[in-house]
Structure 1
Amino acid sequence: MNAHAHAVDGTVSAHLVRSLVGALAAAGRGRPARLPDLTGDFLGNDLARVSTPSLITVWEDLVLTDPRTLIGPLILQDAPIGAFGVWDYLVTTGPTLRESLTSAVDLIAAIGDPAAEKLLVEEDGRRFTVRHATGTWGPDVVQAVDLFALSLFLTRARHAVGRDLAPTRVTITHRPPAQARQLTRLFGTDRIDFDAPYNSISFREDDVRAPLPAAQPGLDRLLARHAERVLAESRPALPWLDRFRPVLAAACREGDPGMAAVAQRLAMSPRTLQRRLAENGTTWSRQVEAVRQEQALELLRTTELPLRAIADRVGYADVRALRKAVHRWEGRSPREVRGAVGPAPA
């Protein structure tokens, strides 16, 4: 694992997000400006790291643009070498494809979230394989990310060798999509196994050990050192607590505010989540209380929902618990907080 990976856990490079936001704009969906770390200032800063939850929101918007489209591979059609920063050149400038792909896997933090994207290189003397797994997001998003990752390695490998390289085998954990024939054309092989135990793309050992046509001695080591420096200098666009709160708020709105569920969304264990909260001078219960307060007061002030419905939405067992909480926060009753909205329904 890269020495700087722990410092960028939970974030991805601005290069990656710029490409996806650009694809979203090209599809006529615009930019998800509701997210604070997707502003132009952050996306234009090559040293900024965008939160993984914000990235997943972009992916969610992308898969909704046209559910019949293989959106992950499609994005790469308009992503030339260099679109993903120094990581692209790690794949394309080593002495051999074997060394280049290994370096790119080792430095996955230069483009993605090392806490969420799991990559492994395997060799058996006949094949060179890159295995990939991502976080436990929604199934449509996971499929899009998985196909994007496999396609990314293939397109960059083809650029590196300067020809239409075909993998010897592709495995995909998902069921065959309606566009399975498109995948056959994309990968250049019909040796695609669906419902597999893991995602992977394999190349012949002879292909990955042949000298790359554009290789320059020492350039791969120079680029790897540069990638390390970029990681050392990169900083999250938002402080960690500002990245955590929207994830917790979304979980509460969706009725799944348990610590394990939120930790899973953040690609970390509950123990690590508790430690990060402590490092930021707060606790899980304090943050849940703050989010409940924000959501409950907003519902009181902007809707006419019955108190029982509000209590259910923000996770209180009954109306009495909600009344006690509102009095603790505001020093007055829910009816008084509601003010101009009208009397609180029974």
Structure 2
Amino acid sequence: MTMYSSDRIKIPAGFWTGLRQLGIVAHDVVRKAQLPITIISDPVVTTAQYFAIWQAYSDLIDDTAKGIIKLATSFETDHYPPTVLATYHARDYRDALKRMARYKQMCPPERLHIIEEGEHCTIEIESLQSEQPVPSILVGITLAFLLELGRRGTGQPLTAKCVEFSTHSIGDLQILESYFGCRIQLGTDFNRLTIHRADLDRPFVSYNAELLEILTPVLEQSLNEQVRCPSITETAMWIMKRSLTGGRPDIQTIASELGISERTLQRRLAEEGTNFKHLLTKVRHEQAKKYLADPSLDIKEVAFLIGYEDQNSFYRAFQLWEGATPLRWRTDHLDLNLVID
């Protein structure tokens, strides 16, 4: 059975062609990202490589805001991958956004959440990566394309109600506000687009029922296969997080919850380039930073929550991970947040 991993991201077939149309040479992007030149012909990359490509694109253009709008508006529909093509030919804007959110599950590293409430509809981007920050330009392109989808599909100059970025810098705000038709908020807790709910009922002039009849079954099959086959690494880490409090989950326990033998678990983790000890350390490290960011938890509680009965052992481990004590790390990060706020 094929295993899927959120660390493997498919590059759309027309991606490099689209950049070339904007005057951006693929080789320049790859060199800027410090990646092997052969990656241009590789249809699948890691999350780190994917983010590096987007950051390199951002670095090569004059202004991040300009880069966002150019890429969101310049791609021709014949360069859209099937997951996006199905949204472009949806019945109306609501149907298109729902399809986008559903099929985005096959395109890490983020997920879309749609909330309709009152007169507004909010589409929020949830990052599936806790270690690597998503490049601001990638977030911006995603939000811009969600509005662009509505504009192209309805044939109307739709505007947003509000756009929020968690970053504190996104380039020329005036350019972005002119494109979205609303105020841009920076440094928020979310990356999200808020639109007028009434626009969701607007029919798509690009609606193509016959094409959807062809695309939908294929996309649904691909989605179901992916959902049925999660990465063993991701699943093991999820179980570890549930099992950390007050103790150290062992490989026998995790293997038992997965319904496989210890040896099989070791083999399948090795096939995905990791091992049990590394995953446990990674989970503890991630959870430690998450809990330390909450000032209501004292250090002893944090140690317990990530499976350390001995507080001194937690201090030694955290010192190795971050080069600072838990208290020092918390103080530095809380002070940084106060400065940013």
Where does the alignment leave 5 or more consecutive residues of structure 2 unmatched? 242-250, 255-264, 280-319, 321-341
Aligned-pair Cα RMSD in Å: 3.9
C-alpha spacing 1:12/1:5, structure 2 compared with 1 (3 Å): farther
Aligned with 1:206: secondary structure?
Answer: helix
Distance (Å, rounded) in 2 between the aligned partners of 1:215 and 1:169: 27
Match of 2:115 in 1: 122
Change (3 A) 1:72 1:233: farther
Cα pair distance change 1:52/1:156, threshold 3 Å: same
State how far apart, in whole Å, the 2-side matches of 1:137 and 1:80 are. 33
TM-score (norm 2): 0.59
In the other structure, the counterpart of 1:98 is 94
| Distance change (3 Å), C-alpha of 1:182 and 1:147 | same
Given the two structures, how large is their TM-score scaled by the length of structure 1? 0.58
> Where does 1:300-319 land on structure 2 (aligned, <5 Å)?
none
CA distance change for structure 1 residues 64 and 210 in 2, over 3 Å: closer, same or farther? closer
Letter in 2 for 1:161: T
Counterpart Cα distance in 2 of 1:27 and 1:66: 8
Q: Give the Å deviation of 1:15.
A: 0.6
2:64/2:170 contact within 8 Å kept: no
Q: Distance in 1 between matches of 2:77 and 2:10?
A: 15
Q: Is the 8 A contact 2:73 2:148 kept in 1?
A: no
Match of 1:130, SS? strand
Taking only the aligned residue pairs, the percentage that are identical comes to 14
Distance 1:220 1:233 in 2: 20
Contact 2:113 2:126 in 1 (8 A): no
One of 210, 217, 224 as aligned partner of 2:216: 224
Alignment-derived partner of residue 12 in structure 1? 9
How many residues in Structure 1 have an aligned counterpart in Structure 2? 243
Whether 1:151 and 2:144 are equivalent positions in the alignment is: yes
Tell me the SS of whatever aligns to 1:56.
helix
Measure how far apart 1:277 and its partner are: 6.2
Distance 1:286 1:162, change over 3 A: closer
Say which SS state the counterpart of residue 119 (structure 1) adopts.
Answer: strand
CA distance in 2, matches of 1:100, 1:81: 14
2:268 to 279, 297, 304: 279
* RCO comparison, higher one (Cα < 8 Å, 6+): 1
Task: Indicate if the aligned counterparts of 1:176 and 1:194 stay in contact, CA closer than 8 A.
Answer: yes
Q: Does 1:76 align with 2:65?
A: no
Separation in 2 of the partners of 1:166 and 1:91? 19
Deviation at 1:283, TM superposition (A): 2.4
Post-superposition offset of 1:169:
1.9
Q: Is 2:177 the counterpart of 1:180?
A: no
Q: Do the aligned residues in 2 keep the contact of 1:38 with 1:54 (CA within 8 Å)?
A: no
Q: Which residue number in structure 1 is paired with residue 290 of structure 2?
A: none
CA contact (8 A) 1:82 1:88 kept: no
- Distance between the aligned counterparts of 1:277 and 1:209, measured in 2? 51
Q: Distance in 1 between matches of 2:130 and 2:23?
A: 27
Are the equivalent residues in 2 in contact too, given 1:10–1:52 (CA < 8 A)? yes
Describe the superposition over 1:37-83 as per-residue Cα deviations: whole angstroms up to 9, x where unpaired.
Answer: 7242x33xxxxx43222211212322221463333333224312242
Indicate the residue corresponding to 1:59 in structure 2: 54
In structure 1, the gaps of 5 or more residues are 44-48, 235-239, 245-262, 288-314, 316-346
> What amino acid does structure 2 have at the position aligned with 1:121?
I
> Are residues 22 and 79 of structure 1, via their aligned partners in 2, closer, same or farther at CA, if it must alter by over 3 Å?
closer
Larger radius of gyration: 1
Match of 1:253 in 2: none
Name the structure 2 match of 1:30: 28
CA pair 283-216 structure 1, distance change in 2 beyond 3 A: closer
Corresponding residue number in structure 2 for 1:197: 189
My pick for the range that moved more, 100-109 or 166-175, is 166-175
Note the C-alpha offset of 1:178.
4.2
1:307 alignment partner in structure 2: none
